[in-house]
Structure 1
Amino acid sequence: MSIALLIITIIAAYLLGSIPSSVWYGIGYFGIDVRKHGSGNAGATNTFRILGKRAGTVVMLIDVLKGWTATCLASMLFYMNEIGETELLMYKIIFGIIAIIGHIFPVFVNFKGGKGIATLLGMVLAIHPELALLCITIFILTLLASQYVSLSSILATLAFPVLSWIGVFGHPEPLLIVFGFTMFVLVVFTHQKNIKRLMNGNESRVNIFKSKAERRNS
């Protein structure tokens, strides 16, 4: 693969990740910048809290699609015969991580984005859909039990490398395990404030079954 094509693909992955769905959707349809309300975070969770379930779902799905599409750029290169089968997983991981970086540091809104969980989910769905679905299940069960999105995100992210390591879906893939633990460290880093609030017992709870008005008043 030529250096020029690699650079173009890396830029494409970053720009995909940089799409500030919560900001553009909130301003475009509601006239509300979610960064000025709630937690101030430009992510799906704060969108759920401020704009409601429908808006939060739309933003979350777009963020998932960003990660999935960026990761699948590697498949495009594979079908173009630019990379081999042995390189496919490596490039999927590279492009997916770049999309996550784009989500966290988006060029379109002064490099202040979300925490990248939904984009990471899209990436994992493109790499290992079965394992991703199991991690989603862990996220949902933790959220229903605790109502903490941050805790649910951290545990679901940790589950990916652990389940890969013990070989739940076949022989462990070292590259996936390393990637998974790296992503776990990144998620812990982006959730430092949430972890402190969890430890202090004052982290915000999110009940996805409540109405928008109920969430604002809770």
Structure 2
Amino acid sequence: MISVYSISAVILAYLFGSIPTAVWLGQAFYGVDVREYGSGNAGATNTFRVLGKRAGMAVMTIDIAKGFTATKLAYFIGLSITGPQHSPQFINYQLALGLTAVMGHLFPVFAGFRGGKGVATLFGMILAVNPDAAMLCVIVFVVVLLTTKYVSLSSICAGFTFPLSIVFVFHSSVKSEVLYGMCVCILIMITHQKNLERLLKGKESKVYLFKKKST
């Protein structure tokens, strides 16, 4: 049943997602709009490239928190609407709030609807809904990043890990969660289209977590 509370939660989730962390942090502390440099995206990866590791880590942490917090709103509002937690209805409500936050990150009202690619916010949502699958995604992301130095490829591989893990590892019986996992893959592929083109051409930028050894 749709209520004022559920509508308010969706609006609040969108506003959480719309917080343009990379833009505000860059402008406040560096006098730089990260959307004018690098890949032009207002996300953690481009912040790493343009402003460095410290700023990138701050943006990534806050963007994850946006998705996590928006999804967790279901615990304050959804129980009276959907019934007990872990029920399909409750998970559906969580997914709706999380996806709304992701859309806010992609199209932030506070930054002229020019946002990032939503990977960190997506991860925050996954962490809130299925923390075990989220940790598996982290492992895949880190392994691919350390091996290839490509954040985009790491994000894509981690994105595909989520639906595969909930089906074959955790055996989720909630159809909407499986469908959401498939949507995550599609969304990541769409938002990383240019990255895929650069990867195929060998022109994608690498990110080094540690300083390169001098030769």
Give the TM-score normalised by structure 1: 0.92
Q: Is 1:137 the counterpart of 2:136 in the alignment?
A: no
Q: Deviations over 1:78-120 (max 9, x none)?
A: 45x2331232100010000000000000011110100000000
Which structure 2 residues correspond to residues 80-99 of structure 1 after superposition, within 5 A? 81-85=80-84, 86=87, 87-99=89-101
Question: Which of 156, 159, 162 is the equivalent residue of 1:160?
Answer: 162
Distance apart, 1:143 and its partner CA = 0.6
Structure 1: how far apart are the matches of 2:119 and 2:39? 16
Structure 1: how far apart are the matches of 2:108 and 2:209? 27
Which structure 2 residues correspond to residues 66-105 of structure 1 after superposition, within 5 A? 66-79=66-79, 81-85=80-84, 86=87, 87-105=89-107
Match of 2:201 in 1: 200
Q: 1:58 to 1:83 in 2, by over 3 A?
A: same
Distance apart, 1:192 and its partner CA = 0.7
Distance apart, 1:196 and its partner CA = 1.0
Structure 1 spans left out of the alignment, 5+ residues:
none
Q: Deviations over 1:150-189 (max 9, x none)?
A: 11101100000011111x1355432221110111101101
Do the aligned partners of 1:89 and 1:127 also contact (CA within 8 Å) in 2? yes
Do the aligned partners of 1:77 and 1:83 also contact (CA within 8 Å) in 2? no
The amino acid across from 1:106 in the alignment is P
Which structure 2 residues correspond to residues 164-203 of structure 1 after superposition, within 5 A? 164-166=166-168, 168-203=169-204
Do the aligned partners of 1:139 and 1:155 also contact (CA within 8 Å) in 2? yes
CA RMSD after TM alignment = 1.6
Do the aligned partners of 2:149 and 2:207 also contact (CA within 8 Å) in 1? yes
The amino acid across from 1:105 in the alignment is F
Q: Is 1:48 the counterpart of 2:48 in the alignment?
A: yes
Aligned residues, how many?
Answer: 210
SS in 2 for 1:14: helix
Query: Which stretches of structure 1, 4 residues or longer, exceed 6 Å deviation after superposition?
Result: none
SS in 2 for 1:50: helix
Structure 2: how far apart are the matches of 1:2 and 1:92? 14
The amino acid across from 1:82 in the alignment is I
Do the aligned partners of 2:68 and 2:124 also contact (CA within 8 Å) in 1? yes
Percent identity for Structure 1 against Structure 2: 49
Q: 1:33 to 1:171 in 2, by over 3 A?
A: closer
The amino acid across from 1:5 in the alignment is Y
Match of 1:28 in 2: 28
Structure 2: how far apart are the matches of 1:198 and 1:118? 21
Q: Is 1:120 the counterpart of 2:122 in the alignment?
A: yes
The amino acid across from 1:210 in the alignment is K
Do the aligned partners of 2:172 and 2:178 also contact (CA within 8 Å) in 1? no
The amino acid across from 2:83 in the alignment is G
Do the aligned partners of 1:103 and 1:116 also contact (CA within 8 Å) in 2? yes
Do the aligned partners of 1:68 and 1:122 also contact (CA within 8 Å) in 2? yes
Do the aligned partners of 1:164 and 1:173 also contact (CA within 8 Å) in 2? no
Distance apart, 1:35 and its partner CA = 1.0
Distance apart, 1:2 and its partner CA = 4.5
Structure 1: how far apart are the matches of 2:33 and 2:210? 23
Distance apart, 1:40 and its partner CA = 1.4
Give the TM-score normalised by structure 2: 0.93
SS in 1 for 2:177: helix
Structure 2 spans left out of the alignment, 5+ residues:
none
Q: 1:106 to 1:173 in 2, by over 3 A?
A: same
Do the aligned partners of 2:6 and 2:78 also contact (CA within 8 Å) in 1? no
